Each structure stands twice: as structure tokens, then as C-alpha cells.
Amino acid sequence: ADVTIRLCATDDIPEGEVRQFAVDDGRTLAVYRLDGDYFATDDLCTHGDASLSEGEIEDGKILCPYHMGSFDIRTGEACAAPCSIAIRTYKLAVDGDDVLLLD
Ligand code: FES
């Protein structure tokens, strides 16, 4: 839990967009930049085999590209059917030009 992993550079994600990053331990995350802050969720939708980093961001939510369910990017809460199971979120920190994964 005390391990900090460098995910990407702050410039790797344009404002208002999402990118996919793989972590060495096998996790694949979707990392978002919203109003200058960074957030991360699992990349895999909880409804099916879709990559959320290929979805659209709208009003702080990520819309799944498969069935247009959605999740709140900040809390992971499922916001629109057919998604009903929250997506896992991760704590991030920014250190200079680096986006760090804290857990
Ligand atoms: Fe994401 Fe169905 S796979 S809404």
C-alpha cells in the first residue's frame, strides 16, 4: 500500500481527456484529466468487456463505448444503465511533471 508507481507525465493526458495506462503488476487503468486534476479508474467496464479509456467524457462521467452506461469519474459510482456496479477508483498524486499511483 505504500508503494508509489509513476503512471505517466502530466502532459500525456490533454485536459478533459482520458488515456489508458498499464501498470507493471498487470492492472490496466483509465486515467483522466478534469479541470487540471487527475483521476484513475479500472479501464475495464464493470458491465462487459469494454475499455473505458475508449469512451467519451461528459460532465465528469465516463461513457462506456459499448452500451453507453456511465460512471462518475471521481467516485466510480455507476450513473447510467446498464452499469450497476461501481468502477474501482485509485488515489493519484501529482509530483512535478509526474502522475503517481498511490495504491
Ligand atoms: Fe460497458 Fe456494457 S460494457 S456498458
Domain ranges of the chain: 5-101
Q: Does domain 5-101 have CATH number 2.102.10.10?
A: yes
Separation of 84 CA from ligand 1 center, angstroms?
10
CA–CA distance, 44 with 28 (Å, rounded to integer):
8
Q: Using most ligand atoms within 8 A of CB, pick from 43, 61, 66, 71 the residue to mutate for ligand 1.
A: 66
Mutation probe of ligand 1 site: the residue of 43, 47, 87 with most atoms within 8 A of C-beta: 47
Q: Compute φ and ψ for 93, nearest 5 degrees.
A: -140, 155
Structure confidence at residue 25 (pLDDT): 85
Average pLDDT across each block of 10 residues of the chain; the chain has 103 residues. List them in order.
Answer: 84 98 93 97 98 98 97 98 98 96 88
The model's pTM: 0.94
Query: What is the pLDDT, as a whole number, of residue 24?
Result: 85
Rounded CA-CA distance 93/69 in Å is 28
The reported pLDDT for the residue numbered 2 is 64
3-state helix, strand, coil in the chain (%, to 5): 5, 45, 50
Handedness of CA 42, 47, 49, 51 (dihedral sign): negative
Distance (Å, rounded) from C-alpha 18 to C-alpha 2? 26
